[in-house]
């Protein structure tokens, strides 16, 4: 199949950067399969592609303790303004477990309560925010479940905003990883959750995720513990542009397990982001104001690939296209293959090419000139 390249060298350099994003990666070649975590349930996932790099009983429903507060924060960010004031209701004073020691009747901002929720893991902050956002704990739990359904969290159900043990309150490692990816895509959540410590008046909060001080690339994390759930931990780390999420449930050695999984993954995988503005090839145009039109990915693509593997790619494009050509129209497909896993990337035209009404050559004569070089050399793609 013949294709005109806008620049053979540039095209090859661009395409060589493409890698594949398999739905489920095989960790044996990257050292992840050799790690034996202490957790009852665990998962390690690439935040950008959803590629699962490691898993252990990822779909087993479990009590999740204070990792519940990921959803509490997300719902509050969608329903509340950060500078709104909140009068602490009586129901929020003295909630058992971790606390920012709120007193009924005192007034704080939503922002202050959010820091108390995510850094100090205040169960009282969770109750105050829930009642402020919806009027009651029960009404807020309904909002949490509606959001979980909207996000496709199929094995998650909430009964409260703080994660204290309650029948019917559960999630899974996989659902929590998906939820953290959504949370970290929210700039305000990321701003709050990646804070190590902060003070408001007489209150000071310090992030309970100790890996933020000891692990290279750690962005944030949400800890949790109850007798029923054991130790729960959801973290997010980034190195060299690759952002990963790790979840462990019922894990007595959670911090060390997260560090070991991240180290192996960062050593064994790399990622590339291909912008939608990057042309990858071009197609001859018949009867247009220009002889060719470049094509590009329809949307920016986040790609993940094991270190040491080489991608194989192929492009399916028309031999030529008749003017008029419209920017954004579908042009073809690029298929990228790594280690037997393949993914398709839709290609679209980069710009408009109007029909040249002044041309008097018939389309077949125009095509003959393109093929035989009178309008420029035509080379097989990849040569």
Is pLDDT of 375 > 50? Answer: no
Is pLDDT of 313 > 90? Answer: no
For 259, the 3-state DSSP assignment is: helix
| CATH pick for 2-21+274-380 out of 1.10.3720.10, 3.40.50.300, 2.60.410.10, 3.10.129.10 | 2.60.410.10
Is 316 labeled as catalytic in the residue annotation? Answer: no
CA distance 263 to 236: 13
Considering only the top CATH level, what class is 38-252? alpha beta
Mean pLDDT, residues 217-229 taken together: 98
pLDDT of residue 312: 72
Which H, E and C letters describe 12-80, residue by residue? HHHHHCCCCCCCECCHHHHCHHHCCCCCCEEEEEECCCCCEEEEECCCCCECCHHHHHHHHHHHHHHHC
Per-residue pLDDT tens digits for 149-199: 999 999 999 999 999 999 999 999 999 999 999 999 999 999 999 999 999
pLDDT of residue 363: 61
Is 69 labeled as catalytic in the residue annotation? Answer: yes
pLDDT of residue 367: 66
Reference 353, options 290, 299, 275, 304; nearest CA is 290
pLDDT of residue 336: 79
How far does the chain reach from its first CA to its final CA, in angstroms?
A: 12
Is the sign of the CA dihedral 146, 68, 161, 201 positive or negative? negative
Give the range among 6-10, 232-236, 283-287 with minimum mean pLDDT: 6-10
Q: Are strands 341-349 and 203-206 parallel, antiparallel or unpaired?
A: unpaired
Is 66 labeled as catalytic in the residue annotation? Answer: yes
Cis peptide before 324 (omega within 30 of 0): yes
Distances (CA, A) of 170 to 5, 65, 67, 163, 216: 54, 9, 10, 9, 31
CA distance 78 to 142: 15
Proportion of the chain in helix, strand, coil states, percent, rounded to 5 = 30, 30, 40
pLDDT of residue 307: 86
pTM for this entry: 0.81
pLDDT of residue 304: 80
pLDDT of residue 301: 73
pLDDT band at 377 (very low <50, low <70, confident <90, very high): very low
Of residues 36 and 259, the one with the higher pLDDT is 259
* Catalytic residue (one of 56, 69, 147, 222): 69
* Catalytic residue (one of 3, 56, 98, 121): 121
pLDDT band at 3 (very low <50, low <70, confident <90, very high): very low
pLDDT of residue 11: 30
pLDDT of residue 12: 28
Chain-centre distance for alpha carbon 350: 26
Per-residue pLDDT tens digits for 332-364: 999 877 767 778 889 999 999 999 987 655 566
C-alpha radius of gyration, the chain, whole number: 26
Per-residue pLDDT tens digits for 112-146: 999 999 999 999 999 999 999 999 999 999 999 99
Q: Do domains 2-21+274-380 and 38-252 have the same CATH topology?
A: no
pLDDT band at 8 (very low <50, low <70, confident <90, very high): very low
Of residues 273 and 276, the one with the higher pLDDT is 276
pLDDT of residue 232: 98
Is pLDDT of 110 > 80? Answer: yes
pLDDT of residue 37: 95
Per-residue pLDDT tens digits for 41-86: 999 999 988 889 999 999 999 999 999 999 999 999 999 999 999 9
pLDDT band at 373 (very low <50, low <70, confident <90, very high): low
pLDDT of residue 10: 29
Going from N- to C-terminal start, the domains of the chain cover 2-21+274-380, 38-252
Percent of the chain with pLDDT strictly greater than 70: 85
Reference 163, options 61, 66, 98, 73; nearest CA is 66
pLDDT band at 379 (very low <50, low <70, confident <90, very high): very low
Is pLDDT of 18 > 60? Answer: no
* Catalytic residue (one of 66, 134, 171, 282): 66
């Amino acid at each position: 199949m013949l294709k005109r390249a806008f620049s053979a060298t540039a095209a090859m350099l661009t395409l060589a950067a493409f890698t594949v994003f398999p739905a489920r990666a095989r960790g044996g070649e990257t050292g992840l399969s050799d790690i034996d975590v202490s957790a009852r349930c665990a998962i390690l996932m690439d935040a950008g592609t959803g590629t699962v790099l490691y898993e252990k009983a990822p779909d087993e429903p479990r009590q999740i303790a204070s990792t519940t507060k990921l959803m509490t924060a997300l719902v509050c960010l969608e329903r509340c303004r950060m500078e709104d004031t909140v009068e602490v209701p009586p129901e929020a004073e003295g909630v058992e477990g971790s606390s920012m020691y709120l007193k009924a009747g005192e007034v704080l901002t939503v922002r202050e309560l959010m820091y108390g929720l995510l850094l100090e893991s205040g169960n009282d902050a969770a109750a105050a925010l829930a009642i402020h956002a919806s009027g009651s704990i029960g009404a807020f739990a309904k909002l949490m479940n509606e959001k979980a359904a909207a996000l496709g969290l199929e094995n998650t159900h909430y009964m409260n905003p703080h994660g204290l043990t309650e029948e019917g309150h559960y999630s899974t490692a996989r659902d929590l990883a998906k939820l953290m990816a959504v949370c970290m895509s929210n700039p305000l959540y990321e701003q709050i959750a990646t804070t190590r410590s902060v003070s408001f008046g007489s209150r000071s909060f310090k992030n309970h995720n100790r890996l933020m001080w000891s692990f290279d690339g750690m962005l944030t994390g949400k800890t949790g513990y109850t007798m029923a759930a054991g130790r729960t931990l959801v973290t997010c780390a980034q190195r060299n542009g690759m952002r990963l999420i790790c979840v462990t449930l019922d894990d007595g050695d959670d911090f060390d397990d997260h560090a070991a999984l991240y180290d192996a993954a960062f050593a064994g995988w790399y990622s590339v982001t291909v912008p939608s503005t990057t042309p990858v090839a071009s197609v001859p145009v018949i009867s247009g104001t220009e002889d060719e039109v470049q094509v590009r990915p329809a949307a920016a693509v986040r790609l993940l690939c094991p270190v040491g593997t080489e991608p194989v790619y192929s492009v399916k494009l028309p031999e030529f296209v008749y003017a008029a050509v419209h920017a954004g129209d579908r042009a073809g497909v690029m298929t990228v293959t790594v280690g037997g896993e393949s993914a398709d990337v839709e290609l679209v035209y980069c710009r408009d090419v109007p029909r040249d009404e002044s041309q008097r050559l018939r389309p077949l004569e125009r095509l003959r000139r393109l093929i035989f070089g009178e309008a420029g050399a035509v080379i097989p793609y990849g040569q």
